[in-house]
Structure 1
Amino acid sequence: MSRKRFDYSLTIFIIIFLVSIAAPVNLFKVPPVMFFMMSSLNLSIASAGFMMSVFAIMGIALALPSGFIVHGLGLKRSGIVALGALMIGSFIGWASDNSAQMIISRIIEGVGMCLISVIAPAAIAVWFPPEKRSIPMGIWATWVSAGSILMFLIAPAMNSFWGWKSVWGFSSLYTLVMLFVFILFFRMPDTLNESINEEHGGDDESSFRPYSNTSIWVLAAVFVIFNIMVMAICTFMPSFLEIQRDFTPEKASAVTSLFLVASLIISPVAGYIAYRIKSYKKVILCGIFFASMGVALPFVVSDKMIPFTLILLGSFAAMIAPAAFSAAAEIMKYPSHAGAGMSILAFGQYIGMCVGPALFGELIEHAGWVTAALMLIPIMLTGFVLVFFIKVK
């Protein structure tokens, strides 16, 4: 029985990873064609920016309820709802001819991404036992980077040949295919109840009341801080390179993408390290400490050193997410409560995504680029201290 479960878990992981990519594919289809979309729909730059921030706003609103949704509907039906929302929202955007319709489409897509960010790691937690969970979590943690890099690579070419709406056509069709794949091949493990009894016997109160577990909330606070840093770098580094270092827009985007490319390599490695040393906390501590030490470097080094510092910063940052998702599953004790844990972690993620650009923008405006970057250091070190209060190995 366990052999059958392990074999199909690999299939499940491939499905989950490909399905997860549908969310950032839909999220990041805007930046590569933003100028053309603004011209076509008569949008201001503020309105165009809102097309991105609405995802984070929906995440904050739905992250905690999503835990109850997933618990009530189950992972498969919740996944169908999530992919359905992404697909419907993308189709509406594809057919939109004004800003109001486009914003509605983005709100619907935001619902889908929020649910995916809870369902996917919960499914991994259910299908992989704790001792085998770190590596798939590490690989899955590249989902946002993989989807965003894909869109940054193909969207400009599609826009050149078929116009900016062809990007919405691609995201719609990709999501539709993933919906059919998910319906056909995703299922829950036959041994779920048995594995719960074997792995987590006992009557720990926190396992029966997942939302009262202090450690998961502390981990979510760490994730707020982590995402503040990530969004600050991803949002403002291109502008810094263009304004302060006279990079061309194309070069500024390419150099900034190195921060994300690093995670494609390091996240799986971090998952493997956590598996080998049997400690999620040590990996998180290492990642957040060295990321805090390097977060200001891209803003102070010479032009030639900026790519190297972004790769270095992205590498340390990439250690945090896979260990955090694995730690969340471990903190929640029972696989059946994984959805609740992931929803709390997602709540922290979306708060960080929303606060990060606004906070860093204010710091830049009032203190300048370098001082703003330096102020990220104590923020990150606060997260480092919080990790010590998380009750997980």
Structure 2
Amino acid sequence: MKTKRAWIVAFATIFAGVSLALVQNKVAPSMTTLMDAFSIDMATAGWLSSLFSLVGIVIAIPTAVILNKVGPKKGGIIALACAVVGSLIGVLSGGSVAILMASRVIEGMGVGLMSVIGPSLIAMWFPEAKRGLPMSIWAAYQMGAQAVMFFLGAMLTSSFGWQGVWWFGLAACVVALVFYILCVKSPRPEDSYADVESDDVSIAEGIKSPSAWILSLATMLFCIGCFGFVNWIATCWAQTFSWGEGEANMWVGYFSIFGVVAAVIIGALLNRVKNRKLFGVVMLIAYGAASVFGMFMDNPSFLIGFVIVYGFVDAGFPCVLWTMAAQTVKKPELAGVALGVVSIGFNVGVLLGPPIIGAIVEAAGWHAGAIAICASCVLGAVVLLFTKLYSADGASEHEGAERTVPSAL
């Protein structure tokens, strides 16, 4: 019965994450329409997306405090409410860029809150040895939302203008809010595997955990490479293969579909992997190699195979990341703080990746950009090796080998 309840909570939480990610990713498919409607340049339009990363950086640690004080249910309701209110303000912005920007800040607060609350809830309901699958499905929430927006965004925009994607995200968040209220609750303290609501939680102690910051750094390096690659690969292929922008974007959309499928497969595998850290190292190096192949590729006949392989390497490290993050602190109740710290690295990487890789490509070409992406991921793999993980009883893992619950294997 407890396992059934855990999965109900997990799926309601994941659906909330997907709905918020739809709101986050609605700018890209409506970018041209937005620029025309608000008479803004590319730099200003880019901030409509970048604001989310900035907000995520600022509220990552405060979110851990909110999570501890109000609990994951009320915190998640606040997150979804932010998205609903922000979307409404955006739709009613009346052509004002300032109001639209303000609405994106409010939406970004919702996404920033849920990025910590979501995995914290899963950590509360699932023991370490069983977190692989639910955390990996959670890790795919951004990829799933990106796929939906890439394939539906153009249709919504052409039919209803830029407001079409705004209304779509708003409707998804309203439905998610209803399910969240009905389905999500915290386990009893004695049944919680990470009691982030405990009065004994010390935010300062969690922030001082070196391992959480090391994982955050590895995450930042991966996101610099990953988001640098995803942001520019469509342009790379459009130039290399003499394609239109729409055709190149379609192939990028396929990444997300295979990424979601790969996340489920990898998640099931992670429940049986004893050394998840080593698995993460391999995935980081594999991603770097795949990015080099993708940007060096000069024949589109390789694309089908590449997209399938890329989906797996793209999902690999995020699945490991969210599964391990709660184990970077000595006490399970500090999981929310650890996830806040890791979220800082995630958002810094998302913010820095596209401009850094774009500048390298502009100065030295696509091959140099690919090598830079690979180097960032390989450096992330080296950093990840120094991440110390802790088991539920607070004992550190020796020699990088993970301790698992024998009955769960």
TM over 0.5: yes
User: If the length of structure 1 is used for normalisation, what is the TM-score?
Assistant: 0.92
Decide which of 320, 334, 338 is 1:337's aligned counterpart.
334
Identity %, equivalent residues = 26
Aligned-residue offset at 1:46: 1.5
- After the TM superposition, which residues 130-141 of structure 1 pair with which residues of structure 2 at under 5 Å, given as runs? 130-141=128-139
| Greater mean deviation of Cα atoms: 275-284 or 86-95 | 275-284
Given residue 322 of structure 1, which amino acid in structure 2 is its aligned partner? C
| Greater mean deviation of Cα atoms: 347-356 or 333-342 | 333-342
> Partners of 1:134 and 1:258 in 2: how far apart?
24
1:8 counterpart residue number: 5
Aligned-residue offset at 1:307: 4.4
Structure 1 runs of 4+ with >4 Å offset: 194-198, 205-208
Decide which of 168, 171, 192 is 2:169's aligned counterpart.
171
1:387 counterpart residue number: 384
Aligned-residue offset at 1:231: 0.7
Matched, 1:84 2:81: yes
Given residue 190 of structure 2, which amino acid in structure 1 is its aligned partner? N
2:118 counterpart residue number: 120
> Partners of 2:69 and 2:156 in 1: how far apart?
40
2:155 counterpart residue number: 157
1:367 counterpart residue number: 364
| Greater mean deviation of Cα atoms: 246-255 or 278-287 | 278-287
Decide which of 184, 205, 208 is 1:212's aligned counterpart.
208
Aligned-residue offset at 1:292: 1.8
Unaligned segments of structure 2, at least 5 residues: 390-401, 403-409
> Partners of 1:17 and 1:179 in 2: how far apart?
12
Decide which of 51, 54, 65 is 2:62's aligned counterpart.
65
| Greater mean deviation of Cα atoms: 347-356 or 376-385 | 376-385
> Partners of 2:265 and 2:330 in 1: how far apart?
25
Unaligned segments of structure 1, at least 5 residues: none
Shift in CA distance, 374/12, structure 1 to aligned 2, threshold 3 Å:
same
Matched, 1:265 2:261: yes
> Partners of 1:208 and 1:102 in 2: how far apart?
35
Shift in CA distance, 304/6, structure 1 to aligned 2, threshold 3 Å:
same
Given residue 239 of structure 2, which amino acid in structure 1 is its aligned partner? I
Q: Is the 8 A contact 2:222 2:380 kept in 1?
A: yes
Q: Is the 8 A contact 2:139 2:263 kept in 1?
A: yes
What SS does structure 1 have at the residue aligned with 2:241?
coil
What SS does structure 2 have at the residue aligned with 1:295?
helix
Shift in CA distance, 170/317, structure 1 to aligned 2, threshold 3 Å:
closer
Decide which of 302, 305, 312 is 1:305's aligned counterpart.
302
Decide which of 274, 289, 296 is 1:293's aligned counterpart.
289
Q: Is the 8 A contact 2:6 2:126 kept in 1?
A: yes
1:28 counterpart residue number: 25
Deviation per CA, 1:280-319: give whole Å up to 9, x if none.
2122012012112222111112232244334323311211
> Partners of 1:280 and 1:197 in 2: how far apart?
19
Given residue 189 of structure 1, which amino acid in structure 2 is its aligned partner? P
- After the TM superposition, which residues 217-256 of structure 1 pair with which residues of structure 2 at under 5 Å, given as runs? 217-256=213-252
1:282 counterpart residue number: 278
User: If the length of structure 2 is used for normalisation, what is the TM-score?
Assistant: 0.89
Given residue 342 of structure 1, which amino acid in structure 2 is its aligned partner? L
Shift in CA distance, 194/310, structure 1 to aligned 2, threshold 3 Å:
closer
Q: How many residues align?
A: 384
Deviation per CA, 1:106-163: give whole Å up to 9, x if none.
1111111111110100000001111211111111111001111112222222223333
Q: Is the 8 A contact 1:274 1:280 kept in 2?
A: yes
> Partners of 1:279 and 1:197 in 2: how far apart?
21
What SS does structure 1 have at the residue aligned with 2:271?
helix
Aligned-residue offset at 1:175: 0.9
> Partners of 1:39 and 1:161 in 2: how far apart?
16
Aligned-residue offset at 1:196: 5.2
> Partners of 1:169 and 1:304 in 2: how far apart?
38
Aligned-residue offset at 1:333: 4.5
